[in-house]
Amino acid sequence: MTETLRDPEAAVIAARVDQGTGSGTATPDTEEIRDLTRSGGYRIVGEVTQTRTEDPALCFGTGKVDELARMLEETGAGRVVFDNRLGPYQTFNLGNRLPDGVEVIDRFRLILDIFGQRAQTRTAQLQVELAELRYELPRVQAKVSLAKRDERPGFMGLGEYDESREQDIKKRISRIREELRQIEEDEEKRREQRRESGFDLVALAGYTNAGKSTLLRRLARDLDVDENEHRHPDLDTTAESENRLFTTLGTTTRRADMDRRDVLVTDTVGFISDLPHWLVESFKSTLDAVYRADLVLLVVDISEPTEEIREKLVTCHDTLYERNEAPIVTVLNKIDLIDEEECEQKMNALSALAPNPIAVSAVEGAKIDGLLDRIDRELPPFEHERLVLPMTDDTMSLVSWIHDNARVNDVTYGEQVIVDFEARPAIVEQSRSKAGTLSVPAES
C-alpha cells in the first residue's frame, strides 16, 4: 500500500470544549488557534470541532477522531493542531488512529515551536529551551511510568534511553535556570543604572495583536537607547507592523518622546490565553521588565467584543497584580476601528476592570498627547531641590549635568550659582553628593 504524500505545511485545526451548562452549549472558538497556526508558518486546510466532555484516551470521541482522520486523508495535511492540551497517552493514541505520516501537536507544542522560530537573543533562546524541556519532562516521566507499570520496556518506543533522557532534562533545566538567574541579575543592574541616570521605566503589557509595538513606535524617539540591544523588527524605519503573533520574544527599549522627563519604554512578548503556569514562569526573565517597571501600560484592543476584552483583562490582572507594585494604566487602543458611541459603551462596561482608562489610536496618533500627560502624572513624583553652589568651573559642569538629568526651573548666576530644579529622588541625591565635593574658591 502506497503511503499518502503529505504536505508538511498544511494543517487541520482540532478543537474541543466541554458541554455547556443550562440551556445552551459551548461552541469552540478557533480564531486564536488559527492565528497561532498561521504564525507557525502553516496553511490551514480544514477544521474539526466537538462539544463534549473530554475522552481520557483521545480527547475527542472516537467518531470525531474518525472524522478527523477522513479530513486528513482528503486534504493530505501533514499536521493536526489541537487547541486543547494533550497528554502523552492521548498523543500516542491519536497517532495510532490517524493516517500515517501525520504529526499530532497541541497548542502548547505549537506555541513552543513559534517561540523557537522567533528567539533571536541569548535570553529568548534560553527561555524557549527551558519551556520546551519543562513541556517534555512530564511526557518522558509518563512514558517511563507506563513502561514500568506494564513491565514492557518497549512500550511506546521505550527503553533505557527514556530514563537517561529524564535525568538529562533535569540537569539541563537546572543549568538553564542558573544562567537565566545571572542574566536577570545583570538586567536588574542595568535597570538601576538607568534609574540612577534619571530615567523612569515604563513597560508595555497586553495580549498579542493589541498594538503594543505600534504604540511603542508612536511613543519613541528615533534614537535607539542601546545599540547593543536586539532591534525589534517593527522598529526598523522601513518596517510595518505585522498582524501576526510573537514577532519577537526579546524586550525592546526605546526613549519616549517626552519633554518634561526622561522615560524609557519597553515592549515585551504579548500574552495569549490559557497559558499554563510553567510556560509563564519559563519567560520570567522577559516579564521582569514588566514586574519591575515604574509604570505599566496595559494595552487592550478596544475593537474586540466586550466579553473577550473582559476575559483578557482578568488574565492580565492575574499575571500582573500578583508580582507588580507599580501603577497599571489600561490603554484602550484602536479607537480608529470603532465609533465614539461604541467606545463609550465598552468603557462603561469595562469600568470595574479598567477604571479611568485612556483611549488612543496608535496607528493614527489620536490622543497620544493625552497618554503622554497620563504617563507623566502616574510616574513617581519628582522632588524639588534648590542648590546654592560656589562659582567655579566644576560648578558649571554640575549645572550642565543637572540640565541633562533634571527639569530645571531657574538658574541664577552671581557670586554664587543658585539652581532650582525638580528630578527623581536618585538624581536629587546625586546632585547633593556632587555639590558636596565642590571647593569654595580661595580669596585672592
Binding residues for GTP: 206-213, 267-270, 333-336
Crossing angle of helices 122-150 and 284-291, rounded to 10°: 130
Known binding residues for Mg(2+) are 213, 248
CA–CA distance, 23 with 21 (Å, rounded to integer): 7
CA angle 44, 94, 87 (to 5 degrees): 100
Known binding residues are 206-213, 248, 267-270, 333-336
354 grid coordinates: 479598567
CA–CA distance, 189 with 439 (Å, rounded to integer): 32
| Residue tagged 529551551 (cell numbers) | 129
What is the three-state SS of 253-264? EEEECCCCCEEE
CA–CA distance, 421 with 411 (Å, rounded to integer): 9
385 grid coordinates: 531641590
CA–CA distance, 338 with 344 (Å, rounded to integer): 10
Q: Are 49 and 118 in contact (CB under 8 A)?
A: no
Q: Are 220 and 201 in contact (CB under 8 A)?
A: no
Phi-psi region of 156 (alpha: psi -120 to 50; beta: other; left: phi over 0): left
Q: Tell me the HSE value of 306 on the side-chain side, using a 13 A CA sphere.
A: 13
| Residue tagged 514586574 (cell numbers) | 291
Q: Are 211 and 299 in contact (CB under 8 A)?
A: yes
Instruction: Dump strand ranges (E) for 176-261.
Output: 199-206, 220-224, 252-256
CA angle 163, 165, 170 (to 5 degrees): 100
Of residues 218, 273, 280, 269, the one with CA closest to residue 246? 269
β-bridge partners, 417? 389, 413
